[in-house]
Structure 1
């Protein structure tokens, strides 16, 4: 936790309300996000129980598994989820734009002009918290390899046709969610934590209702009191008024509501099977009515748990939409669009599902990408948001001040003199200002580097020698240097992220890192995996 975040949390405790950590919104929000609130069976993290989803806050759709331990019912649930979610995910695939680029001919080495398709927009899923992202990853991992009735060897338990495709999409979205700055799959608690600080712990912040209580506490209550009420308030039946944001359910709900409802469903199904064996039509009709009544009771019980969280997610979106978008937001969303387009193309090309375990080169590339994107995100947020830049100023990685003097100077060691003016500024910051340290000007007319040549700690001044960004003439171009009295900001880190060294192709991977593809047998997808 940074110093500024700690101070903001302390201020939230003092004020009783959430305190801002950002002045702009650092994540893209779609005009039509798909809000998805999952639930899982207690003690069965991979067994889905229900999901509420939709793009309209006034029209949520509920899918459930009446008996989570029944494999057939789970597949029916996943088929319904696929039929509901896949049309949304695929609806962005047709509207594309042509992006001009170039690629090197492998034989001649010459660059040739090429055009690539880029989807004009991409889907966005919003879940209540990070545990919801993990749950979707489990569903993706357990379904993308499933055999279907259309396969040559469907196995004893074929899945509905669209279920493996759903698993591949969920795997892609959850993998992309690990890339810093990505907005394809967002946990609401993480979104709020990036933009506001509360006076409670990070673990307590995972309860969405408790976190939102710090933003708009009722009259007469502090944020802490409102959060405690959201976490623990119960109705006359002993059920929470604001259930957890999932995917886990409240133990009292499991014991007194869910378990009896599932038992009634099991009894009704058992009676239906018995009447079918006895060929008793009257008893079968009564049993079918009992099954429908049991399913309806389960729907009502699960909806009562999911609806408060559903409304909380939309309330969180309203809070975030009130913030202006950051300047580099469109650039990061373009990266998400490329990711979506690439996965669309892989599916269209008939490529196999994502492997259970990445090979050495793929894993290294993913790690390098995430490190690079994290560095780029840190720089872009600092450039877009004064509060983010304040984090770097407090840590000594940046400083701001007012220019007091600009003295012309030249470097005469070369064939022709080069302008190297000295800029002195007064600052209250305390950067790690070692002499000769390279610094970079923020929001200058052009990228500009300088070096620290003098530090007066007592007087609070720094003197910099400007090294670039002044044009190619003997005199600096007008406007390229700050004027006396002008506020400026410099960072001790570069404002552009360097590309990492290229990694070898998988065929060139040495045996010490897994060997080339085919060196070790790849396990085939299981067709006889037991699910119950």
Structure 2
């Protein structure tokens, strides 16, 4: 937990109201995301029991397994989920746009979807459920003694894809709403309690007349606010077990009536969480979208289009374990994504940048002087290198020679050329070396350079980080097993247990 997050948490505890951790929203929220609120059978890690799904906040679609120990009914549930989610994915694939990559002779046109599917779940446990359900379905065979509907393994591949993308910081392909909220607000409770969506929403938007702390305490009553899943409440398990037992023993119309009671009980258990999920989305949408969010969503759309094309061309499922090069490439991409996301958040959000000022990676101050007539000798002609002098009220820990940039002018590189203590403060001279319309003479007063009296922020954070270059999987060296063959599900995979 960072220093500012700790302070915000303490202040939330003191005031009884969640405190902002950001001034903008750092996740993309689609106009029509697909929501999934799952429940599992008690005692089994991924045995499906029920789910509320859909894109309409007011009309969720209920899917249930009235006999959750029956393998046939479990796969019937998966088929119903596949029909809905795969239809949503196809809708996102329908409209495409053309974009160019490369330069000069290497320039080529490619296509990507104008939309990408976005899957919302209540909490982090929902992401874990999607990952397990993806593994249990993507490897199933559509032929032989354990054959399933062709949509089942296709759904598993997409669920696995959603869960894999959720691990990358900055992606918006799959989001846990509780995590989105706690990334933008600090509550006065523990991180473990922050996984309870009802409590998080209560801290951020308590009912009139109550503090966030008091409202959060009321959400501890499972009769009013059931668990956000996928695990069920012990008290509800007793009611459900009785209904399931009676359903298994009954026949005909009696059995159908008991099945309808099971459906009603499950719907009532999940509906509060469904409403909370969309209420959380509404709270997140009150924040304006950060400047770099659209770029990250464009990347999500491209990756979605690439994976959809891969499935159409090859269709191989993800393996149970990453291969050598694949694991290394994935780790490098995760590290690069984390670095890029943290940097972009800081450039988009002054509240996030303040944390870097505390650690010495950034500083803010007022421009007190500038030299627009400064030139340096060049190989052919003098180079225009203007400077600005920034007066910072706080210590500046960046050493001379550090390359820095300002969020206000990210395309204008600068370099610290002098740091001078001044009456307990610091004067910093920065040399500017880019972002000019003409590099050989001063520009007109159009805002290209920071003017005297302007407050600026500079940091050594780099927006241009790139992942490590690693060989393609087909070039895996013999020391790591050589080029891998595409993963093919086996009969053993098709028989894998749900638990």
- SS of corresponding position for 1:335: helix
Contact 1:372–1:497 under 8 Å retained in 2: no
Report the CA distance between 1:43 and its aligned residue: 1.8
Q: Give 2:361's aligned residue.
A: 397
Give deviations 1:357-400, integer Å, cap 9, x for gaps.
12111122222222222222122211211111112112211111
Q: Following the alignment from structure 2 to structure 1, what is the Cα–Cα distance between the partners of residues 355 and 244?
A: 51
Per-residue Cα deviation, 1:130-173 (whole angstroms, up to 9, x for no partner):
1101101111111111112xxxxx23221122111111111111
2:156 corresponds to:
167
Equivalent-residue separation in structure 1 for 2:161 and 2:211 (angstroms): 41
Superposed CA offset, 1:277-328 (max 9, x none): xxxxxxxxxx211211121111111111100000100111111122211112
Once the two structures are superposed, the pairs formed by residues 26-37 of structure 1 within 5 Å of their partners are 26-37=26-37
In structure 2, distance between residues paired with 1:159 and 1:25:
41
Q: Give the match's secondary structure for 2:283.
A: helix
TM-score (norm 1): 0.88
**For 1:525 and 1:337, how far apart are their aligned partners in 2?**
34
- Alignment of 1:194 with 2:189, yes or no, is no
Instruction: Find the counterpart in structure 1 of residue 478 from structure 2.
Output: 511
Question: Counterpart in 2 of 1:258?
Answer: 240
Closer, same or farther in 2 for the Cα pair 1:530/1:391, shift >3 Å?
Answer: closer
- For structure 1, list consecutive stretches of 5 or more residues without a partner in the other structure: 104-109, 149-153, 235-239, 269-286
Q: Which aligned pairs between 1:81-230 and structure 2 lie closer than 5 A?
A: 81-102=81-102, 111-148=105-142, 154-230=143-219
Shift of 1:409: 4.1
* Residue number in structure 1 paired with 2:455: 487
1:319 aligns to 2:283 (yes or no): yes
**Structure 1 residue 113: deviation in Å?**
4.0
Please say which of residues 211-220 and 415-424 is displaced more in the overlay: 415-424
Residue range with higher mean Cα deviation, 314-323 or 185-194: 314-323
Structure 1 match to 2:320: 356
Q: Which sections of structure 2, spanning at least 5 residues, go unmatched?
A: none
Inter-CA distance 102–467: structure 2 relative to 1 (3 Å threshold): closer
Q: Is the 8 A contact 2:19 2:185 kept in 1?
A: yes
Tell me, yes or no, if the aligned pair for 2:162 and 2:174 is still in contact at 8 Å: yes
Using the size of structure 2 for normalisation, the TM-score is 0.93
8 Å contact from structure 1 (residues 422, 465) kept in 2 = yes
Note the C-alpha offset of 1:422: 4.1
Contact 2:57 2:275 (8 Å CA) reproduced: yes
Tell me the residue number matched to 1:275.
Answer: none
Between the aligned partners of 1:528 and 1:130, the Cα distance in structure 2 is 27
Would you say 1:526 and 2:492 are equivalent positions?
yes
The partner residue of 2:225 within 242, 247, 260 is: 242
Q: Residue 4 of structure 1 corresponds to which residue in structure 2?
A: 4
- Contact 1:427–1:460 (8 Å) recurs in 2: yes
1:89 and 1:99 map into 2 onto residues whose CA distance is: 21
Q: Which of 411, 417, 420 matches 2:376?
A: 411
Contact 1:433 1:452 (8 Å CA) reproduced: no
